[in-house]
Amino acid sequence: MEAREFLLDLFHAALAAVEPARVVPRHLPKPPRGRTVVVAAGKAAASMAQSVEEVWNGPLSGLAVTRYGHGVKCERIEVIEAGHPYPDDVGRVTAGRALELMAGLGADDLALFLISGGGSSLLVRPAFGLSLADKQLVTRELLASGATISEINRVRKHLSAIKGGRLAEAALPARIATLVISDVPGDDPATVASGPTLADPTTLADAREVLEAHSSSPPNSVTRHLADSTNETPKTLPATDVRIVARAADALNAAATHARNLGIETTILGDDLEGEARNLAADHAKLSNNGAPSLLLSGGETTVSVGSAIGRGGPNSEYLLALALALDGNQRIHAIACDTDGIDGTEENAGAIIGPDTLVRARTLGLDAQAMLDAHVAYDFFSALGDLVITGPTRTNVNDFRAILISSGASQLLDL
C-alpha cells in the first residue's frame, strides 16, 4: 500500500467514527409527554437533525442552521444555511426564530438541542444595543490575531442574546437535553458553539481580557457593553441533560485502531493540541526526524496569526507547509493534516498531504516554500502541487486531524 493511500484511509476511518448517524441515536433522551422541538446549530447541525428524524417516535419539529453547502434534506426539521466563519443576517434572523420556538414550550415539552462547532457564527443574535456589524468586526479581528476558539467564544458569549446559556433560559420550563459534537480542546460543552444551552463560567472581565491580550480595537458600543455588569451571562441554570456524543479522541482512537490492526506502532500525541500551526509543526518535526518507524497522531485546534497578510489557506495547510520545511525532505516521513469538517479555513480543501518529495517538486515548479509560508498562502502551495485533500463537507466536526507516518526507509510503499 502506498503511504499516501494509507494516510487517506486513516483520515476516512477517523471521520467514520464521528458521523452523526453513528453517534447521535444512542444518546437521544426519552420522548416527552408533549412536543419535541429541535434547535440544531453548527457544521454538523443538519446531519445531526437528520439522524434524529430517522429514529424519533412522536411529534417532532424545529430548525437546524448550518454552514452554506453543509445542509442535508430533513422532513420535519427545517434546514437553513448561513454564514461561517463570519456571521451574516441569515444567522441573525434564524437565531431570533430559535428563541421564539423556545418561548412557546411548556413543562411537558422537550427542547432538544443539537450543538456542534461553528454554531457561534451560525446562530448569532447581538445583545441589545449591539449590531451584527459590531460582532462581525470583533470576529474578524480576533480570527486574524490568532486568538484560540475558547478565547473568541468568551467574547462572543458576552455580546450575544442567545449564547452563554440564554437559549436554554428561553426554553424553560421545558425539559432540556443537549447533544454535543465537540470541536474544542478539552471538550468543555459550555465552549462548543459558545454554549447556548449551558451556564457560562466565564465573565465580562474575561471577555475584556481577551480583547486586550490580542490588541483588539472593538467599536465603542462593544466596549460599553462589556463594561456594564448587567450584561453578565447566566451563571446557573436548572439541571439539564448534556451529552458529548463525539469528540476528537474518538476520531483519533479509530485511526489508531486501524493502524494497529495493520501492525503499525501508533502513538497519540494528544487530542487537545493548540497554538500557532507553524510552531506545532516545528515541535512535531523534532519528534519525527530521528524517530523509530511508527505513526504519530494528534488532534486539537491550531491557529494562524495572519496579521495584515491577505492569506489563503487554513491552519492544517499551514501546519503541513511548515512541517515540510522543518523535515527538509526527510525520506522516511509522510504526513497528512485535515479539518474533520472538510473545510480548512475558508477554501474548499479539508487539508493537504506531504511526502519526502514535496519541497523538490515545489522547487521544480518555481515555488518558494518559505516565502509562501510567510505570506500564509499554503493553499496555493499545495494546490500547485496537486496535494490538496478535498472531501467536500463531511457534516461532522471534531476539528483537526494530523498523522505523521515514519517509515523504515525511503520507499513510498508500506509493507502491509
Crossing angle for the helix pair 277-289 and 315-327, to the nearest 10 degrees: 40
- Report whether pLDDT(263) > 70: yes
Distance CA 110, CA 244 (A): 18
pLDDT tens-digit profile of 73-91? 999 999 999 999 889 999 9
Q: Using omega within 30 degrees of 0 as the cis cutoff, is the peptide bond preceding 234 cis? A: no
Determine, yes or no, domain membership for 119: yes
Q: How confident is the model at residue 311 (pLDDT cuts 50, 70, 90)?
A: confident
241 and 297 both lie in a single domain: no
Tell which of 208, 225, 246 closes a domain.
Answer: 246
253 and 185 both lie in a single domain: no
Residue 68, domain CATH: 3.40.50.10180
pLDDT tens-digit profile of 143-183? 888 888 889 989 999 999 999 999 999 999 999 999 999 99
Beta-strand pair 78-82/388-389 = unpaired
Query: Any residues with CB less than 8 A from the CB of 331 and at least 6 apart, and which?
Result: 356, 409, 410
Q: Which of 15-24, 83-92, 248-257 comes out lowest in average pLDDT?
A: 83-92
Distance CA 32, CA 399 (A): 33
Phi first, then psi, for residue 342 (nearest 5°) are 90, 0
Tell which of 204, 226, 246 closes a domain.
Answer: 246
**Which of these, 57, 415, 68, 117, lies nearest to 263 by C-alpha position?**
415
H or E element at residue 80:
strand 78-82
What is the pLDDT, as a whole number, of residue 411?
A: 57
241 and 298 both lie in a single domain: no
Q: What is the pTM of this model?
A: 0.92
Residue 269, domain CATH: 3.40.1480.10
**Which of these, 365, 267, 366, 368, lies nearest to 324 by C-alpha position?**
368
3-state DSSP assignment of residue 127: coil
Determine, yes or no, domain membership for 127: yes
Other CB atoms within 10 Å distance of the CB of residue 216: 18
How does DSSP assign 332-400, residue by residue? TEEEEEEETTS-STTSS-SEEEE-TTHHHHHHHTT--HHHHHHTT-HHHHHHHHT-EE-----S----E
* In contact, 323 and 355? CB cutoff 8 Å: no
* In contact, 304 and 376? CB cutoff 8 Å: yes
Distance CA 295, CA 43 (A): 29
Total domains present in the chain:
2
The amino acid that residue 106 corresponds to is: G
40 and 123 both lie in a single domain: yes
**Which of these, 8, 5, 83, 2, lies nearest to 338 by C-alpha position?**
8
Per the structure, the complete domain to which residue 302 belongs is given by 3-14+248-406
Determine, yes or no, domain membership for 415: no
User: Exposed/middle/buried for 239, CB within 10 Å: 0-12, 13-18, 19+?
Assistant: exposed
Q: Given the C-alpha cell 492569506, which residue does it identify?
A: 311
Q: What is the mean pLDDT of the chain?
A: 94
- Report whether pLDDT(240) > 90: no
Q: Given the C-alpha cell 451556564, which residue does it identify?
A: 199
What is the pLDDT, as a whole number, of residue 264?
A: 96
Beta-strand pair 351-354/388-389 = antiparallel
254 and 213 both lie in a single domain: no
9 and 134 both lie in a single domain: no
Using CA atoms, how far residue 373 sits from 282, 306, 377, 390, in Å, is 13, 11, 6, 20
pLDDT tens-digit profile of 46-76? 999 999 999 999 999 999 999 999 999 999 9
Determine, yes or no, domain membership for 229: yes
